[in-house]
Amino acid sequence: MSEPIIEVRNLSVHFPAPGAGLFKKENKIVRAVHNVNLQLQPGKTLALVGESGCGKTTLVRALSLLIPPTTGDVIFEGNNITKYRSQQLRPLRRRIQMVFQDPYSSLNPRMPVGSLVEEPLVIHGIGKRTKRRERVAELLEAVSLNTNMMNRYPHQFSGGQRQRIAIARALALDPQLIILDEPVSALDVSVQSQVLNLLQDLQEKLGLSYLFIGHNLTVIRYIADDIAVMYLGEIVEHADTQTIFSNPRHPYTQALLEAAPVHGVGKRKHSQPLKGDPPSPINPPPGCAFHPRCSMAQDRCKAEAPIFEPLSGQSAHSAACHFKEQVPS
């Protein structure tokens, strides 16, 4: 295996909990991300799946050092960048870019598209004005937008086109890694596939690595090479896409797969949906964080936190469950 483009080791992000009242302080901790280990190989797509509030966004923010991790390390292309100062991080920022879920709120409505795409180049002081304009035209072409639209404003574009603009903007600085935070969730079905195709073309052409955050399992199954499943701040299962879908070993992964609607399989059968909501990360349950919702939980699960480790004989498939070898699939 080649060197991962980005790796996090034992990464945790803890926040002080908001107090009980407006001015009261409380010495509680929100365990937003806890002891996460992840690797992303160059040119590959790793998907991060989990319910809202499970820490996906905090994890990618810590991983791109937009917020400081509480403990743990972030290694980018072999260098431990956790302790870098903002001055040192600046050149790295060019290599890691983000595309957000909602193209309606992530683009400045007062800037014409040409300037929006040019902005990252200006901020990083790259090229002269004419050169930059050429680059913008190139980028718009790369995302299949007409270059004569450069002087239009975001509101003149549809959702799918806006997401293309956001992607062009992310590509402006020649990044190696793009973090895609629910990039197609806000789009209509008929344009979703256009954007998914575009993302794949760009990955092939430019050798990009993607960290894809999502909740639509059909989309993730389609686009991801590897999947990491997150629950209450921790990675509970990690394997290649095929394995996650054919042989999920964590009861939470199994529940997620079962809950996801699939078209063309006929009328809904009453599944055994997960009961209740995820517990609060301020006061996570003792033992395995999933045990209050797990149909297979035993006494051991309530007392002892399972270790996230590979299954026997399968170094690429890890799960955090005491019964990962026994769980029926």
Residue 256 binds another protein (CB under 8 A): yes
Which residue among 75, 191, 206, 282 contacts another protein (CB under 8 A)? Answer: 191
Q: What is each CA distance from 187 to 46, 77, 162, in whole angstroms?
A: 21, 33, 10
Q: Are 58 and 32 in contact (CB under 8 A)?
A: yes
Which residue among 13, 136, 211, 255 contacts another protein (CB under 8 A)? Answer: 255
Which residue among 37, 41, 115, 194 contacts another protein (CB under 8 A)? Answer: 194
Q: Which is nearer to another protein, 260 or 307 (CB)?
A: 260
Which residue among 13, 171, 177, 217 contacts another protein (CB under 8 A)? Answer: 217
Residue 261 binds another protein (CB under 8 A): yes
Within 8 A by CB and 6+ apart from 1, the residues are 41
Q: Which is nearer to another protein, 257 or 327 (CB)?
A: 257
- Interface stretch with another protein, choices 31-39, 107-115, 259-267, 307-315 (CB under 8 A): 259-267
Quick one: tokens of 133? Answer: 């304009």
Residue 102 binds another protein (CB under 8 A): no
Residue 21 binds another protein (CB under 8 A): no
- Interface stretch with another protein, choices 25-33, 77-85, 273-281, 294-302 (CB under 8 A): 273-281
H helices of 158-227, where?
159-171, 189-206, 217-223
Which residue among 92, 196, 206, 282 contacts another protein (CB under 8 A)? Answer: 196
- Rounded to whole angstroms, the Cα distance separating 27 from 132 reads 50
Q: Are 238 and 231 in contact (CB under 8 A)?
A: no
Which residue among 223, 228, 289, 321 contacts another protein (CB under 8 A)? Answer: 223
Shortest CB 188 distance to another protein, Å: 4
- Rounded to whole angstroms, the Cα distance separating 126 from 53 reads 38
Q: Are 172 and 94 in contact (CB under 8 A)?
A: no
Q: Which is nearer to another protein, 40 or 96 (CB)?
A: 40
Residue 276 binds another protein (CB under 8 A): yes
What is the layout of strands, in order, in the sheet containing 71-76? 29-40, 6-16, 71-76, 79-80
Which residue among 125, 266, 313, 328 contacts another protein (CB under 8 A)? Answer: 266
Rg (CA), the chain: 21
- Rounded to whole angstroms, the Cα distance separating 139 from 142 reads 5
Q: Which is nearer to another protein, 200 or 247 (CB)?
A: 200
Which residues make beta-bridge pairs with 210? 45, 178
How many whole angstroms from its chain centre is CA 210?
Answer: 9
- Binding residues (CB under 8 A) for another protein: these are 51-52, 158-161, 188-194, 196-197, 200, 215, 217-219, 221-223, 241-242, 245, 255-256, 258-268, 270-271, 273-277
